Structure 1
Amino acid sequence: MAKRYTLTKPQRAAAVLVAMGKSRASQLLKFFKSDELRVMIDAAHTLKTIPQPDLEELVKEFEAEFAVGAGLMDSAETMQKILGEALSEEEMFAITGRSHDLHPNEPELSVWEKLPKVDTDELVAFLGNESPQLCAVVLSRMDSKIAAAIIEKLEPGLRKATVARLLSSKDVPDPVLGTVENRLEEVFDLSGNTAAAGEGASRLADILNQMQKEVSDDLLEQLTPLVGEKKVNGVKSKLFRFEDIPSLSKESRTALCDGLSTEVLTIALRGADDELKEAVLSSISQRTRRMIESELEAGKAKASEIEQARKSIATLALRMAQEGRIDLQHSEEEAA
């Protein structure tokens, strides 16, 4: 039994959890703190095969049940599986720095295997600014249905030249093909860095939210043929302005207005159209509504003050949406 006592306490705890099986161990994991789990995970990675007798003694010490079987093996992977069933993806990453993926060494997909996942409109937008030669190289390596859909959307002149290149295509030298693959991987972020892409959309949305609506709408319209409608829609989903309040549901408008002072609402509503005024005023109490309506008839405000008040309300709406307190998704029924 001497071997058993060479284990540290975290190792012994990890050994018992693994021996108990995923079902029982998962029930116990919720009683551990994140730092304790992290220590046990590290300990599990240091465990080697533990003889059955020693393991039985460990289980008895913890007064837990143990099913008779072979000695403990593959402790690290088993512990990973237990955690994977007991914890969410976010909790798993926060504790271990790893996801639920137990096979990190799986072969990497090629650019051509990843490319079909890119939105067709994005591919059309990209190829629309490229040479017929490059278009032919890319399309010749894609599924025929996807290639046909893209070719149909190309500008007539480019479409004709691309089809001609496809008809007379020859083997592409490896250096040239490698250059094309690198370009595609860079343009469409095929390296798998979707988080960075999402951050880019969020940063752009933050900037556009600070602009005049007419300017930002014009920019997005110009961006669509360059990056594709899907990416532009991703940015649009993160945009919100004071003028968008009528498109919110009644519940979201009420929750938003509850977090605002009467003064801010009054300033923001100056110069607003009737639909916008009613969307806001119908979301507050009758007493507050009468106060604001009275102020709107009597006083005035500078354009800069109105703009600042409206931006502060839009900022609050975005923050509340991130916290899950309101929904910024436009309701067709409400907006109609």
Structure 2
Amino acid sequence: MAKRYTLTKPQRAAAVLVAMGKTRASQLLKFFKSEELRVMIDAAHTLKNIPQPDLEELVKEFETEFTVGVGLMDSAESMEMILNEGLSDEERYALTGMSTETVDQEPEQTVWELLPKVDIDELNAFFAGESPQLCAVVLSRLNSRTSASIIEKLDPELRKATVARLLSSKPVPQSVIEVVEKRLDEAFNLSDQSASSGGEGASRLADILNEMKKDVSDDLLAQLAPVIGDRKVEGVKSKIFRFEDISSISKEARTLLCDGLSTDVLTLALREADGDLKEVILSSISQRTRRMIESELSAGKAKVSDIEQARKSIAALALRMAAEGRIELQAAA
């Protein structure tokens, strides 16, 4: 059984916060430095049940009022609940480096989702040597725009026969569809294209590179190109977004992104930022908020590690918003 006098200072601080309850504790979290908060979170994971008398004595030492009857169980879980309710996702990430977001694995793209990305001239060259039956099967499963572009460029005789097949087409057996899919995959290397533009490996590598310094990750990708190929490297690059890349997205997207941020996190991220980038971001927020941030920036400094953490949290939010279709991200030059 844990005794009050055996607890370390971080453990005692964690115990008091948990005992205070989520509402009151959450009001204090923002006053802790990031390092202090990390140490306290680690301490919470080592706490066991604390007897009520010892807890009451501990509370008195901190000269804080508590509700009679509060016990302490599941300290780590309680600390997580306080963090989740007391801080926004961006503030939590900036302070602790931990995100509450779960990362969904990207579903593998099908042949029919990848085929429209193939160059139209390559598609037409392929169809020129195929039967009207196969052409009709493929066109019936593509979107109207892609199908129209292909039909327009078909040889007149093949076009006539293909359209006739489309008009009189009947349900195609799944076994035939699978044969056609295999034929298309072999013709255009669609499996390789899927691996280059998505997949768990590319997503995982992009996540890692997003956490690295830009010059280091860029150099690494340049070294990988001869090994894995330019197409796969471009697929990874499409999943990378950093704070500095905000200048490459539209003003509308920047405004939506900034609306989802707390003033504290945005101010922290803008410290030591390039003048042009700072202006681009400040021009995307309200004049009142801009004045507040500029006032904060003119006074005081912050740790480089805290600035970097805030910037990473903003980049992570941008990627999530893009994945949800709320904004569009353009690759930085």
Give the TM-score band, short-chain normalised.
0.3 to 0.5
TM-score w.r.t. length of structure 1: 0.42
TM-score w.r.t. length of structure 2: 0.43
Greater RCO, CA 8 A, separation 6+ = 2
Bigger radius of gyration among the two: 1
